[in-house]
A and B are shown apart, each in its own frame.
Chain A
Amino acid sequence: MRVERIINETNDEFPIGIRVLAVDDDPTCLLLLETLLRRCKYNVTTTNQAITALKLLRQNKFDLVICDVHMPDMDGFKLLELVGLEMDLPVIMLSANGDTNVVMKGITHGACDYLLKPVRIEELNNIWQHVVRRKRFERKDRYNSNSQAKLRADSGEAVGMGSIGNNGKLKKKRKDQDEDEERDENGHNNNEDPSIRKKPRVVWSAELHSKFVAAVNQLGMKNATPKKILELMNVEKLTTQNKFRLYLKRISCAANQQVNIAAAVRMRSPNGLGNFHTLAGSNHLHNAAFRSFPPRGVLGRLNTDAGLLIRGLPFPGTIRSGHGQSSVNSGNDQSKLQSFVSGIHNANILQGLPMSLELDQVQTNNGVSHIGELPIADSTTVFPVSSSLIDATITGFSGNPLLGVTSHSLMLEASSQQAGNSRDIVPAIGFRNGNTLSDFAPLAPASNRESNADLQCEPIPINCNAGELITSAPQEWNSPYQSNVTPCSMNSSIPVSGTMVQFGLCLDQNNSMDSDSIGPSSFIDNSAMEQSIIDKEGYLMLEPWEQGSHIPYNIGLLEDLWELQ
């Protein structure tokens, strides 16, 4: 098997000292687990509370988490998701209950394994494979995704997110792998330490995307909750996190939390429209004028690094979550945001709109995270919208702060299309929590950015539920490179417990937002956009694409943003 070959290539020995965190409220089981793990030569830390576990995970580096399903302070699945999002570590579930539906739930929430109590030492002896496997695939994926990016850049053909060929391969490989491996496909920027954030996720191939779209269409806007979509898509081992992660991966690591926060704050203002006007405009944005707002609470690090994918557009800000609890901003967010790439070609303009991604890190259960400032959502994501120029590279998306969205992380991706496309960008966002996006409005890309300082594109709230989403064109995730229009689908966000949905939106540069499209897409027509923006809620997703050049102004924008804060 491939895995074995890979492992054998480098090191045949048992990786001693893997750092495991064991969480179980039952003291008997916990002691037993600890002893067994020690016997297997793992480095064990134990706690009987999930909240303490999260704290420990944030403060220290771990390689693997084993946790019980039934715990009094937090549901094991919730912890599983949080760990996956924030720290991106392999998590093994443990329970006395072996019913298939519970096991399935574990898998869909991202567990890389599910053990039944009483745990046997033989099983614990093997858990190290999850750590090693993940590392390897990440490395591999990163390699793949890098080459994919180059491919995209060169070819200029519309491709779905991630090159189809490679993605397909990866995807296939993924399916071939162990059932429980869920998250370790994507390339990883950093593969040394699994606990380092920014892990790539499942590659969102065109195939997945079309399934996604089909699912959304089938469910209808109102019902298109991430969870349902996931079910409909019926893709093995796909979680709502995958898409999000994918986008995050794309974004290079620039955005940082502060930026996001700033963005979020800015985005929020309801009068954003005014700003939008200025921002919106011609499709062509000349660089630098965009501002990205860092989402609140979440890290959005603008990718300033040239090497990073981010292109002109600011990105990802993860948001949210307010305070407290989760500092969701954990590295995952950052990486995610960073991966978010707003492709902006040199020539292209980015929309001034900052993009912020909202990550739902915080668990809604705890009632967290609502960003105080945001009136609605805990996290706001601001997406920069960039209008793509003919030559493309656009990915502009307007970020809308998600107001009212709670702890969900959204990944928005928008690609703006050339004028020819009439597609509008439909932001689709799924939110985990019941909040509805009320506030966010896609930031329209402003073609000419007025001073950076103005950027604050206030996001105009778009009502997703208006049911307008849509995109007539078939959606595809495609790289901004092409002049094609990428269809966008808007998804009314319906918070689903713990699932996040990200939708890709395609921004069509030329078009103004019409009722169907949301937000940022049309940079062209401010008023139209405005209108539509107001009408709709949505997020735009930027499809990050790689460009050879980074737009330095991103950084500048961020700085400005910070200052503005």
Chain B
Amino acid sequence: MDVVNQLQRQFIDYSASLHREGFLDDQFTQLQKLQDDNSPDFVVEVASLFFEDCEKLINNMARALEQQQGVDFKQVDASVHQLKGSSSSIGAMRVKDVCIAFRSFCEAQNREGCLRCLQQVTHEYSLLKNKLQTLFRLQQQILAAGGSIPVVE
């Protein structure tokens, strides 16, 4: 019991900090609420899909921006748009915010600006991935110890 309580408290604190720091927003909470007995791994599933998708999009953008002959900003913009959509769906607020700035650079066809944003996006994405993995690990530990995941409002 103590172990479970402790783990649960850790989980709550960690969650709260992620929200505070802007890594996650309310959408993530909605996702957690959607998780239930019928779909116990829902959040993990969505997060994994997001990570895969994110990596693919980042690669696309990097490739497009590397073109020496001429950057296809439309393509970059399409990828950024999609990343914006998926990050907002999962609640990855910081990633989404970078995407917004990224889009204006695309529209301005500013290669330097885009490259900078790409770096930022990559950075935010790795940070988020680490943090979520920690969070999920905590969740697993709680469940393994027989407890239930507390709902963080």
Q: Measuring CB to CB, which residues of chain A are less than 8 angstroms from any residue of chain B?
A: 25-29, 31-32, 35-36, 39, 68, 70, 95-97, 117-121
Contacts and interface: CB of A to CB of B under 8 A. Distances in A.
A28 B30 contact: no
A126 B113 CA distance: 41
Given A29-B89, A32-B89, A70 B82 contact: yes
B88 interface: yes
B46 interface: yes
Given A28-B46, A35-B34, A35-B42, A117 B53 contact: no
Contacts of B34: 35-36, 39, 121
Given A32-B31, A96-B81, A96-B84, A119 B89 contact: yes
A32 B45 CA distance: 10
A29 B85 CA distance: 8
A117 B39 contact: no
Given A35-B42, A39-B34, A96-B88, A27 B82 contact: no
Contacts of B53: 26-28
A26 B57 CA distance: 11
B85 A95 contact: yes
A15 to B, nearest CB: 21
Contacts of A96: 81-82, 84-85, 88
B121 interface: no
Contact of B91 (A68, A95, A118, A121): A118
B88 A70 contact: no
B101 interface: no
28 contacts: A25-B82, A26-B89, A27-B53, A28-B46, A28-B49, A28-B53, A28-B86, A28-B89, A29-B85, A29-B86, A29-B89, A31-B49, A32-B89, A35-B34, A35-B42, A36-B34, A68-B85, A70-B81, A70-B82, A96-B81, A96-B82, A96-B84, A96-B88, A117-B85, A117-B88, A117-B89, A119-B89, A121-B30
B90 interface: yes
Given A27-B53, A70-B78, A32 B46 contact: yes
B37 to A, nearest CB: 13
B47 to A, nearest CB: 9
Contacts of A95: 85
B14 interface: no
Nearest to B54: A28
Contacts of A32: 31, 46, 89-90
The main secondary structure of chain A at its interface with chain B is mixed
Contacts of B81: 70, 96-97
A27 to B, nearest CB: 5
Given A70-B82, A97-B81, A27 B49 contact: yes
- For the complex of A and B, 3 pairs with smallest distance between CB atoms: A96-B85, A28-B86, A118-B89
B50 interface: yes
A26 B85 contact: yes
The main secondary structure of chain B at its interface with chain A is helix
Which of A29, A36, A95 has the most B CB atoms < 10 Å from its CB? A29
B27 interface: yes
Contacts of B88: 96, 117-118
Contacts, number: 56
B89 A35 contact: no
A32 B32 CA distance: 11
Which of B78, B89, B91 has the most A CB atoms < 10 Å from its CB? B89
B85 to A, nearest CB: 4
Which of A27, A32, A39 has the most B CB atoms < 10 Å from its CB? A32
A504 B49 CA distance: 52
A511 to B, nearest CB: 52
A35 B81 CA distance: 22
B86 A26 contact: yes
A532 B99 CA distance: 59
B106 to A, nearest CB: 13
A324 to B, nearest CB: 27
Interface string B85-100: 1101111000000000
Interface string B65-85: 000000000000010011011
A42 to B, nearest CB: 14
Nearest to B27: A118
Contacts of B89: 26, 28-29, 32, 117-119
A502 to B, nearest CB: 34
A70 B103 CA distance: 15
A70 B74 CA distance: 12
B91 A28 contact: no
B32 to A, nearest CB: 12
Contacts of B91: 118
Contacts of B78: 70
A119 B46 CA distance: 14
Given A97-B81, A120-B30, 20 more contacts: A26-B53, A26-B86, A26-B89, A27-B49, A28-B46, A28-B89, A29-B86, A31-B45, A31-B46, A31-B49, A32-B31, A39-B34, A70-B81, A70-B82, A95-B85, A96-B81, A96-B84, A96-B88, A117-B89, A118-B91
Contacts of A120: 30
Which of A70, A117, A120 has the most B CB atoms < 10 Å from its CB? A117
A77 to B, nearest CB: 15
B50 A28 contact: yes
A36 B85 CA distance: 16
A468 to B, nearest CB: 41
B88 to A, nearest CB: 5
A28 B88 CA distance: 10
Contacts of A28: 46, 49-50, 53, 86, 89-90
A26 B31 contact: no
A26 B46 contact: no
Nearest to B86: A28
Contacts of A25: 82
